[in-house]
């Protein structure tokens, strides 16, 4: 799941964005994960389709050995978010996406390619878990 954050003068507006690649992957996911996606779809996310620019950027990530070709779809997630100009990508993938060293490498490539950096967080880092009194 990817979110775009648009900042206003006194508030932050969140615009949810989900790639078609995410939908493809979640078809094979366990039921609880599918239910989470179903809840998110209620917020009417923008669906971003993978395009040639994203595919090319993903290949650059692989050429730089940030990820191996075995994890091509993970590279594509980052590339889709980067090409779509999102501010924040949210992922549960701690091995290949939400990983400090890899985030720095993805963003170095983005800057070299004239793209902005993408902040990458786990869902826990971007949600509120407030206790009710």
Within a domain: 86? yes
User: Mean of the pLDDT values across residues 74-88?
Assistant: 95
CA distance 111 to 103: 12
Within a domain: 38? yes
What is the predicted pLDDT for the residue at 24? 86
CA distance 55 to 79: 7
- Per-residue pLDDT reduced to its tens digit, 96-111: 899 999 999 999 999 9
Within a domain: 132? no
Within a domain: 75? yes
Structure-token pair, residue 64 = 């730089």
The CATH number given to whatever domain includes residue 98 is 3.40.50
In which domain, by residue range, is 100 found?
A: 2-124
Task: Give the residue from 22, 85, 76, 21 showing the smallest Cα distance to 54.
Answer: 76
What is the predicted pLDDT for the residue at 10? 47
Structure-token pair, residue 69 = 């070709």
What is the predicted pLDDT for the residue at 3? 47
CA–CA–CA angle 109, 74, 50 (5° rounding): 80
Total structural domains in the chain?
A: 1
- Per-residue pLDDT reduced to its tens digit, 39-76: 878 888 899 999 999 999 999 999 999 999 999 999 99
What is the predicted pLDDT for the residue at 44? 86
* Burial class of residue 17 (count of CB atoms within 10 Å of its CB; 0-12, 13-18, 19+): buried
Within a domain: 100? yes
């Amino acid at each position: 799941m990817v979110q775009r954050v648009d900042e206003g003068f006194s508030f932050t507006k969140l615009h949810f964005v989900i790639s078609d690649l995410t939908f493809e992957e979640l078809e094979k996911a366990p039921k609880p994960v599918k239910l989470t996606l179903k809840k998110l779809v209620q917020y009417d996310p923008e669906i971003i389709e993978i395009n040639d620019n994203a595919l090319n950027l993903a290949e650059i990530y692989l050429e730089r050995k940030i990820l191996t070709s075995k994890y091509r779809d993970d590279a594509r997630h980052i590339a889709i978010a980067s090409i779509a100009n999102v501010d924040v990508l949210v992922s549960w993938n701690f091995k290949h996406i939400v990983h400090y060293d890899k985030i720095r490498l993805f963003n170095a490539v983005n800057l070299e390619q004239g793209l902005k950096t993408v902040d990458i967080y786990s869902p826990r880092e971007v949600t509120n878990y407030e206790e009710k009194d």
